[in-house]
Amino acid sequence: MTTTANPPPRQATPAPRAKARPGDRIFSWSTRTAGVLILVVLAGVAAFLIVEALPTFQADPAEIDGGEGFFSYVWPLVFGTLAAAVIALIIATPLALGIALFISHYAPRRMAQGLGYVVDLLAAIPSVVYGLWGIQWLAPRVQGAWAWLADNLGFIPIFTGPASATGRTMLTAGVVLAVMILPIITAISREVFLQTPTLHEEAALALGATRWEMIRMAVIPFGRPGIISGIMLGLGRALGETMAVAMVLSTGGFTWSMVTSGNNTIAAEIALDFPESSGLKTNTLIAAGLVLFAITLAVNMFARWVVSRRKEFSGAN
Amino acid sequence: MTVDTRIPAVSSLAQNQLPRATTPVLLVLSLAAGAGLSAALGFSWAWFAVFFIVLFAVVNTTVSGVVEGRRKATDKLVTTLVYTAFGLALIPLISVSWSVVDNGLERFGADFLTTSMRNVTGLNDQQAVDGEAEFIGGAYHALLGTFLITGLATLISVPIGLLTSIYLVEYGRGRLARAITFFVDVMTGIPSIVAGLFAAALFAVLFGVGTRNGFAGAVALSVLMIPVVVRSSEEMLRIVPNELREAAYALGVPKWRTIVRVVVPTAISGIASGVTLAIARVVGETAPLIVTAGFTSSINSNPFSEWMMSLPAYVYSQAMRPLSGSVPEPSFDRAWAAALTLVLIVMLLNLIARLIARLFSPKTGR
């Protein structure tokens, strides 16, 4: 039996097939090219960063900033990045959920719409403006509070004194980041809270639930994947945010204390040092950028995974 | 024959109700007590707010708990917490807006928008503060740079983004489309500084280390802008009703003409407002421009050579590196005025996006 023998025709007369017009071919080709171009760009981002980062790993460890190799250079920065983002999340999450609930379930209907619009606008304010506000308005005002923390809770490592006299500390940077991600988390949570089926809410109320019990039993379970993805989006923004930290924080070496000057984040380190860097320092900074890219990528993947895992139970589909 | 005379069980929520006026009365009482306590400590708004809120939360919850029961007390406590969260969040948001407007108006005006920083030095600032000379120095060069860089980024991103979204909606099936969708998602998560590093590394490899110009900035911004354009256009194209496409095919219109003449025009208002919002998002990006376009104090209208200033970089440099170390105030004023300009541009773009969405949306006839 030969497979090469001419196969029997499946159809005596092939179905009339639309003639592929040149216009069609050109158009579909150009759309596909645009799509492929995006993949190429992303591959390019990864490739160029890796190529430019490689000299860091081949170089003599003594030549890297700090003199002990790349990893001892980068880990305090990773710590600072995570610390700032965690502070921001701890402050912003409860507040954002509170505002979202206020807009969706507590505020009078007419006021709620206007507030939603204002929150959207605040999410659009450029980060450099928040940085300017942080350094000129916030830092002098919170300095007293940090001094109080250092005096009274100084036994906790993160509040070890003496507090910075300028207020330009990690904790201040965290507060500025919190203000920046507040509108993002609020906008997404409000959106999912508003999508809760009215029937669920009314059923809970009809069974005698108070407003809070209704929210706890109908609104929150329904909105949980949305809340989580909002928080993760905020976390991703806080991790990659550059200007607020670069402007507000008075940078320095690693320290556990969040109320003295010191510490730095990857993004801020790059923004502060890259413009004047040359040679191996440039490569080191690009390698640090690669680390930041990997961290945010992991966070985003995790968020997507959580959302897709939760989707089937949420009733949102 | 017996008649059931038992009183039906009443929910705990329906008995022992407090009069409606309780909460407002307690609110006023805690306000007064909070004012008194904070006055005793030497009055400050912060302590007043803390005392007032804590007092009100404790008293209101306790009273409700004693009279109405635990469930209603919890409900009232949460209501207080939600209102507090809202009030607390208003402080920074109002203060940001207020500082920008208040400090920005100091120097904002025609002079600021039409002059550059060329040959403006710390000495000029010193003289301006001493009242010996006029205040000089503006942000024209930065404004021009922002327009050029953002414009170039838009020119790169919109065709790529729009065509990709058309591919995803109209043509894309199978592995390539799934890969593009996935990696567009990945791209939305790229930190802006990493996008800047990419453009810097790209130009370093192509044109030599240390190449900085406006075009590199535009490339960095397009990396951030493309995924936003793809996402919003895709969403808009997907809601174009299939009946429209089928009607066009039935009339013998080729697929590409259907897309160009029927599908895209139907969704154009949404696409345009999405693009405007994407521009508003990248116009304030600072970090990628610092590492790609650099700083300058002179007007540069050629994005393909020499360093180029942009508004966000201007804010950053004036705030962090004042011209005169001893009298930084004029530089801070310039930073605030530039911040105000930037915020105005962003607000204007948002407004335009809303107007486009409203004015040009297709008439549904219902």
How far apart, in whole angstroms, are the C-alpha atoms of residue B348 and residue B110? 18
Assembly ipTM: 0.85
Q: How many residues does chain B have?
A: 366
In a domain? residue A8:
no
- Residue from A25, A27, A77, A280 whose CB has the most chain B CBs within 10 Å, to mutate: A27
Per-residue pLDDT tens over the stretch B278-319: 999 899 898 899 888 888 888 888 888 888 999 999 999 998
The distance between the two most distant Cα atoms of chain A, rounded to a whole number of Å, is 93
Continuous segment of H or E residues that includes residue B269:
helix B264-283
In a domain? residue B128:
no
Segments forming the whole domain that contains residue B231:
140-359
pLDDT exceeds 50 at position A316 = no
B343 and B197 both lie in a single domain: yes
B307 and B204 both lie in a single domain: yes
B295 and B214 both lie in a single domain: yes
Name the nearest CA neighbour of B137 among B124, B150, B149.
Answer: B124
- Long-range contact list for A43-50, CB < 8 A, 24+ apart? A44/B198, A44/B202, A45/B190, A45/B194, A45/B195, A45/B198, A45/B223, A48/B198, A48/B201, A48/B202, A48/B205, A49/A286, A49/A289, A49/A290, A49/A293, A49/B194, A49/B197, A49/B198, A49/B201, A50/A290
In a domain? residue A16:
no
- Show Cβ contacts of residue B44 under 8 Å, excluding neighbours closer than 6 positions: B38
Name which residue leads in pLDDT, A261 or B230. Answer: B230
How far apart, in whole angstroms, are the C-alpha atoms of residue A215 and residue A298? 31
B162 and B26 both lie in a single domain: no
Q: Read off the tokens for B292.
A: 């790609």
B147 and B99 both lie in a single domain: no
In a domain? residue B2:
no
In a domain? residue B110:
no
In a domain? residue B283:
yes
B48 and B149 both lie in a single domain: no
In a domain? residue B115:
no
Return the pLDDT at B65: 85
Give yes or no for B203 touching A (CB within 8 A).
no
> Distance (Å) from the C-alpha of residue A124 to the closest C-alpha of chain B?
6
Q: How far is CA A210 from CA A201, A213, B66, B145, in A?
A: 11, 5, 17, 56
Give yes or no for B106 touching A (CB within 8 A).
no
Residue-wise DSSP of A214-233? HIIIIIHHHHHHHHHHHHHH
Q: How many residues does chain A have?
A: 317
Return the pLDDT at B12: 55
Q: Give me Rg for the CA atoms of chain A.
A: 26
Number of domains in chain A: 1
At A165, the pLDDT band (50, 70, 90 cuts) reads: confident
Return the pLDDT at A2: 45
How far apart, in whole angstroms, are the C-alpha atoms of residue B313 and residue B333? 15
Q: Among B103, B123, B149, which residue terminates a domain? A: B103
Tell me the pLDDT of chain A averaged across its residues. 84
Q: What is the mean pLDDT of residues A40-55?
A: 87
Cβ–Cβ gap A38/B290 under 8 Å: no
At A94, the pLDDT band (50, 70, 90 cuts) reads: very high
Return the pLDDT at A314: 46
In a domain? residue A7:
no
Continuous segment of H or E residues that includes residue A301:
helix A280-314
pLDDT exceeds 50 at position A45 = yes
- Chain A residue numbers with beta carbons less than 8 Å from the beta carbon of B96 are 122, 125, 129-130, 133, 137, 179
For residue B129, how far is the Cα from the chain centroid?
A: 34
Name which residue leads in pLDDT, B172 or B342. Answer: B342
CATH number of the domain that residue A156 is part of: 1.10.3720.10
- Give yes or no for a contact between A266 and A293, defined as CB atoms under 8 angstroms apart: no
Query: Dihedrals φ, ψ of A63, to 5°?
Result: -85, -15
> Distance (Å) from the C-alpha of residue A5 to the closest C-alpha of chain B?
32
In a domain? residue A289:
yes
Name which residue leads in pLDDT, A156 or B194. Answer: B194
At B141, the pLDDT band (50, 70, 90 cuts) reads: very high
B197 and B326 both lie in a single domain: yes
Q: Read off the tokens for B279.
A: 């521009």
Helices (H) and strands (E) in chain B, counts: 15, 0
Q: Read off the tokens for B172.
A: 């894309």
- Chain A residue numbers with beta carbons less than 8 Å from the beta carbon of B332 are 136
How far apart, in whole angstroms, are the C-alpha atoms of residue A256 and residue B198? 32
In a domain? residue A4:
no
Residue-wise DSSP of A138-162? IHHHHHHHHHHHHHHSTTSGGG-SS
In a domain? residue A91:
yes
In a domain? residue A68:
yes
Segments forming the whole domain that contains residue A112:
44-314
Give yes or no for B352 touching A (CB within 8 A).
no
The distance between the two most distant Cα atoms of chain B, rounded to a whole number of Å, is 108
Strands (E), chain B: none
Q: Among B48, B82, B103, which residue terminates a domain? A: B103
At A228, the pLDDT band (50, 70, 90 cuts) reads: confident
Return the pLDDT at A292: 92
Number of domains in chain B: 2
In a domain? residue B121:
no
- Give yes or no for a contact between B137 and B324, defined as CB atoms under 8 angstroms apart: no
Per-residue pLDDT tens over the stretch A105-144: 998 888 888 888 888 888 888 999 999 999 999 988 888 8
B99 and B179 both lie in a single domain: no
Locus of tokens 């500390």: A169
In a domain? residue B332:
yes
Cβ–Cβ gap A133/B100 under 8 Å: yes
Name which residue leads in pLDDT, A314 or A50. Answer: A50
Q: How far is CA A183 from CA A117, A121, A190, A220, B246, in A?
A: 11, 9, 10, 19, 41
Which of B78, B88, B257 lies nearest to residue A212, judging by beta carbons? Answer: B78
In a domain? residue A20:
no
B149 and B44 both lie in a single domain: no
B207 and B338 both lie in a single domain: yes
Per-residue pLDDT tens over the stretch B30-85: 888 888 888 887 777 778 888 888 888 888 888 888 888 888 889 989 999 999 99
Cβ–Cβ gap B197/A101 under 8 Å: no
Q: Tell me which chain A residue has its CA closest to the CA of residue B317.
A: A247
Residue-wise DSSP of A44-60? HHHHHHHHHHHHHHHS-
Per-residue pLDDT tens over the stretch B142-166: 999 999 999 999 999 999 999 999 9
Return the pLDDT at A133: 93
CATH number of the domain that residue B162 is part of: 1.10.3720.10
Give yes or no for A292 touching B (CB within 8 A).
yes
At B129, the pLDDT band (50, 70, 90 cuts) reads: confident
Q: What is the mean pLDDT of residues A228-241?
A: 87
In a domain? residue B186:
yes
* Lowest-confidence region among A85-94, B8-17, B160-169, B347-356: B8-17
CB interface of A with B, residues 191-250, below 8 Å: 208, 210-213, 215, 236, 239-243, 246-247
Question: Phi-psi region for residue A14, left (φ > 0), alpha (ψ -120 to 50) or beta?
Answer: beta
Return the pLDDT at B3: 62
B53 and B175 both lie in a single domain: no
CB interface of B with A, residues 276-315, below 8 Å: 277, 280-281, 283-287, 290-291, 294-295, 312, 315
Q: Read off the tokens for A47.
A: 């490739």
B264 and B321 both lie in a single domain: yes
